[in-house]
Every structure is written in C-alpha cells, then in structure tokens.
Amino acid sequence: MIDELSIDDIWIPDVDIDEAYPLPDSREFVYAVLVRATKQHIFTREVPHFFPCKALNPTVTRRKWGHDRSKEFVYNLLPGYVFLFSQEEMQPHLLQDIDGILRVLRYSDGSYALTERDEQLARWLAKYNGKIGMSKAAKVGNKIKVIEGPLRDQLGLVTEVDRRKQRAKISFVFNGASFSSWLDFDWIEE
C-alpha cells in the first residue's frame, strides 16, 4: 500500500535553486535532443564525434521487489531525451546523420540553448553524472528526513511515498511538460 504524504511530511533541506545550480561564468550551452528511446545509449556515445560536447543520458536506478528481496535495475529517467553540454553554439545540421535522432529541441523564439528551469534541471542531472541513484533517508518521528543523494536537493515535488518499496515519486517540469519518476531511497538509522 502506498502512503500518500503531503510535502509537509517530507523533510528536505531548503535549497535555493539559483544558488545551488548557478549559471557558469564562462558560458556553457546546454541543449536537449529528442532521440528514439531505444537509441539513447548509442546517440550519447556517438554525438561527441559530430559536435564538441559532453552528452548526458539521464538514468535512474530502481529496485524491483520479489520474494522479500530486491534487485536493482537501471532505466532511462527521461525516455528519449539526451542533454548536451558544450562551449559552442548548436548547429543542428551537424547531428542529422547520427542514428536515432528525431530533433534538437528549441524554444518558440528559435533558440536551442536551454534556459531557466530547463537548464537547471539539466545541471542537476549533470551533478550526478546523469545517474540518479539511491538517496539515504531516516525516519524522524512521523516524517522522513532525506540525508543525502538526489532527493536531498531535488528540483521537483514529492507527490507520493511508498514506504514498503522505499521510494518516492517526484514530479517536475521540463520543456513545458510535466514528468514524474519514482526515485528509490535507503533507510538509515539516525
């Protein structure tokens, strides 16, 4: 059974997003590319050969439970999305020959570089090298205190908690669309 908790039931340290993920002084551009989900890993490996960048395919580690034991699996956090970090401005035609590409995302004004919350989400993912693993949490009274890991400074809203499976559902916005994902955590004694 899932325990539904309000944000007041989750104790997450206050994080000033602009302070935690400031834009760099020397401008590094961040882009988002939509690719076929089955080609994300190939695209991430190949794109630096076509455009000077660091490619990030965000993944999340989740537990699958069975017979009172768990096993960890890695899934795409945002199926179809790859983030590119580069010192150079995007030239989308350079990517057209890479297997799996659908399009480079752009804003209505024609710009490709991510801005504001979209860029901050990409930088939060980059802080963890795109690998969103387990957070550590402790029960303090009737609240959950996040001690370390991605849930400590998450950019979304905790909407549900499944205490039995040790995971929290996080909702966040990227590119104007709402996404949600379950992130797992480990209980520790405090």
pLDDT 10s digits, 139-184: 666 666 677 777 666 556 777 877 777 777 777 666 566 777 777 7
Q: Where are the beta strands (DSSP E) in the chain?
A: 10-11, 29-35, 54-56, 59-66, 69-76, 81-86, 101-104, 131-132, 135-140, 143-148, 157-162, 167-174, 177-187
pLDDT 10s digits, 102-114: 999 999 999 999 9
Strands 54-56, 131-132: parallel, antiparallel or unpaired by DSSP? unpaired
Q: How many CA atoms lie within 13 A of 181 on its CB side?
A: 26
For the cut 60, the answer to whether the pLDDT of residue 30 exceeds it is yes
Looking at the domain assignment, is residue 116 inside a domain? yes
Looking at the domain assignment, is residue 156 inside a domain? yes
Looking at the domain assignment, is residue 132 inside a domain? yes
Looking at the domain assignment, is residue 1 inside a domain? no
Take residue 78 and report the two structure tokens written for it: 């945002």
Take residue 16 and report the two structure tokens written for it: 């000033």
Global pTM reads: 0.72
98 touches 47 (CB < 8 A): yes
pLDDT 10s digits, 39-94: 999 999 999 999 999 999 998 888 777 777 778 888 888 899 999 999 999 889 99
CA 93 from chain centre, in angstroms, equals 27
Looking at the domain assignment, is residue 154 inside a domain? yes
| Number of C-beta neighbours around residue 153 at 10 A | 19
Domain of residue 105 covers 7-187
Looking at the domain assignment, is residue 105 inside a domain? yes
Looking at the domain assignment, is residue 66 inside a domain? yes
Can you give the length of the chain in residues?
A: 190
Give me the number of domains the chain comprises: 1
Looking at the domain assignment, is residue 172 inside a domain? yes
